[in-house]
Copies of this chain bind each other. A is one copy, B any other.
Amino acid sequence: MKDDAKSERRRQIIEAAYAVLAEKGYAGTSMLAVAKRARASNETLYSWFGSKPGLFRAMVEENARTAAEILQEYPGGDGDPDTALSRLGPALLRLVTSERAIALNRAAAADSTDTGTLGRTIAASGREHIVPLLERLFAGAAAAGRLGGRTPSEAAELYISLLIGDLQIRRVIGVAPPPDETEIARRAERARQIVLPPAAGSEVTARPG
């Protein structure tokens, strides 16, 4: 099989795995079910991915690449922080609450007592990628006196708390729907206002916090 064709085949298998995962959850997703959904053989799956955790690791990594491509469009600290955040925030929130991200977080939760690698992979490709991005953005804002005395690191942590809050865990346990665009905009705006309060001396009237 040529490399291109193999990559495409591999992508099809991963898509099939997502479909089974959505229907049956992590425990209910067997390699055989994925193989049948993808019209592949069990042996090929074990040959290519090694094991069920191996397949899921590949899914997490593939999802991380997709997310990184999306976030690449949002440059860091070299522009107007308000504008940057008002574009980056909604994109981030959509990513972390997407069906795919939720399904992978559920898999990681289930895996946390087995190998623990899914959680670490998600964190390495997710939050640990996003925090430095936010810190660069907030470094620019700090230079303009826009962080209200917080460090870029503190501001990044605060922003994530405000943006995501407990929504993701509520999604993961199945009690919250995906946020609609109004909710996404509202949360992102609330977070931006609190993290980037008007600079001292600004004439803008805004809510405190």
Residues of chain A touching chain B, judged by Cβ–Cβ distance below 8 Å, are 22-28, 105-106, 108-114, 116, 118-120, 122-123, 127, 148-150, 157-158, 160-162, 164-166, 168-170, 172-175, 190, 194-195, 197, 207-209
Contact = CB atoms under 8 A, between A and B. Distances in A.
A93 to B, nearest CB: 11
Contact of A122 (B105, B113, B173): B173
A173 B209 contact: no
**Which 6 A/B pairs are nearest by Cβ-Cβ distance?**
A161-B165, A112-B174, A25-B113, A27-B27, A119-B173, A119-B174
A170 B112 CA distance: 11
Which one of A25, A116, A164 has the greatest number of beta carbons of chain B within 10 Å? A25
B194 A123 contact: no
A175 B119 contact: yes
B161 A166 contact: yes
B172 A172 contact: yes
A40 to B, nearest CB: 23
Contacts of A127: 166, 170
17 contacts: A25-B110, A105-B169, A108-B174, A109-B172, A123-B173, A127-B170, A148-B209, A149-B207, A164-B165, A164-B169, A166-B166, A166-B168, A168-B169, A172-B172, A194-B209, A197-B209, A208-B208
B195 A209 contact: yes
A162 B150 CA distance: 15
